[in-house]
Every structure is written in C-alpha cells, then in structure tokens.
Amino acid sequence: MFITFEGPEGSGKTSHIPSLVEFLREKGYTVFPTREPGGTSIGEQIREVLHSLKNTEMHARTETLLYQAARAQFVEQVIRPRLALGEIVLSDRYADSTLAYQGYGHQQDLEQVRALIKYATGSLVPNLTILLDVDVETGLKRKKKADEWNRLDAYTVEFHQRVRNGYLEMVKQEPGRWVLVDAGRKWEEVQKELGSLLLEHIPKL
C-alpha cells in the first residue's frame, strides 16, 4: 500500500509520521517511511537547489520540473521496489504537493502539471492520501517557530492560501482517495485520529 501525507506549511506531517510508523510496526506491519522530494541521493541534491534561499530567481516552471526530476528517481529507486516487496510505504509529500504548490500556488496550468506528474511517476497514484489541514496563519507561525524556514515558505501569504485552497479542492475532486484531518487541534488528538484512520484503510494482517 502506498500512503501519502499532504498539507500546507506547519500542518505537522513531519512530526506525526515517525509515531505512526512505530504504531503500525507494533501491530506487525512492515512500514517504510520516506519523504519527498528527498529519499534518494539525487533527490536530496535537487532539494538543496529547490530550498536554497539563494535561488530567488527560480521560475515556477523550473521549480515544477525540478520536483518532477526528483520524483521520477524517487518512484523508481524507492517506492516501486518497496511496494513490490509488499511493504507499506508512507511518504511525507508526493505528487499532490506539486499540484498544490506549483499548480494552485503558482497558478500554473493544472492540466499541464498533471501531465508532467503522470510522466514523472509512470502513473503511480497513492492508494490513500491524508490531508493534514491547518489554516495558513497558524501553519506559518508553527513553521517559523520550528526554525525550518525555506525558500518556498517565504512566498506570500496569498500563495500559501492558494495552496491550502488547492488541497481542499483536490479532496472534493477525489473523495475516494483523500481523507481530510483537522490538524489545528492538539497533537495527541490528531495522532489518535491518524492511527485509527490508517488501521481502517490498511488490510488486516
């Protein structure tokens, strides 16, 4: 099973995933956690270019293509081999981040972006995608506090608002794959809901 976590900045994905992995492993599942756009040596190098606060001249199309380059490598080198072994792959972000950030955020043509994603992933779509939804102001505040500020976080509040709205739109368009979780609540509450949600969707052992 391929499960992805999505969300705007400061939604808490990265802090929730390790505990969920532990939770599932305790239940006997073989879980492989990973993150986009890293997860491979090539991907990590591309991430550096994407996140560097020096690269302010980067065009939205360059940004879109770099994410797809990292993703193509990630799918072939990490995700497909793990899925072939029957493992549960949990990824912190995947292709929907491109639709949210580069598509909705940068207002690139959504159909063209979808076509690029299809090419980069060889049409690999997650079985389940969890949206950790949080309002933009709370999310950006959390992110600043965590001291993980990157080039994308520095985009305008309007950009991040479009990203969040883009995610909400995607949930509406594909309700069979997406589940929305309110991540504005206490960490423990959100974690509990995520655990039950995963057990509900993952086939019983």
Beta bridge partners of 33: 90
The CA radius of gyration of the chain, in Å to the nearest whole number, is: 16
Distance CA 129, CA 5 (A): 6
Q: How many residues bind ligand TMP (CB under 6 A)?
A: 11
Query: What letter would DSSP give residue 59?
Result: -
Nearest-approach distance from CB 31 to ligand TMP, in angstroms: 19
Q: Is 5 in the site for ligand TMP (CB under 6 A)?
A: no
DSSP string, 103-117: IIITT--HHHHHHHH
At residue 89, what is the residue type?
A: V
Please report, as residue ranges, which positions from 105 to 144 form the binding site for ligand TMP (by CB under 6 A): none
Distance CA 203, CA 105 (A): 35
Nearest-approach distance from CB 108 to ligand TMP, in angstroms: 11
Determine how many CB atoms are found less than 10 A away from the CB of residue 105. Answer: 26
Q: Is 72 in the site for ligand TMP (CB under 6 A)?
A: no
Q: Is 37 in the site for ligand TMP (CB under 6 A)?
A: yes
Q: Which of 67, 74, 167, 178 binds ligand TMP (CB under 6 A)?
A: 67
Binding segment (CB under 6 A) for ligand TMP, from list 80-88, 95-103, 128-136, 195-203? 95-103
Q: Is 49 in the site for ligand TMP (CB under 6 A)?
A: no
Binding segment (CB under 6 A) for ligand TMP, from list 91-99, 124-132, 172-180, 197-205? 91-99
Q: Cis omega (within 30 of 0) on the bond before 37?
A: yes
Q: Which of 4, 98, 108, 129 binds ligand TMP (CB under 6 A)?
A: 98
Distances (CA, A) of 182 to 117, 131, 133: 27, 8, 5
Q: Which residue is nearest to ligand TMP (CB)?
A: 101
Binding site for ligand TMP (CB under 6 A): 9, 36-37, 67, 93, 97-98, 101-102, 152-153
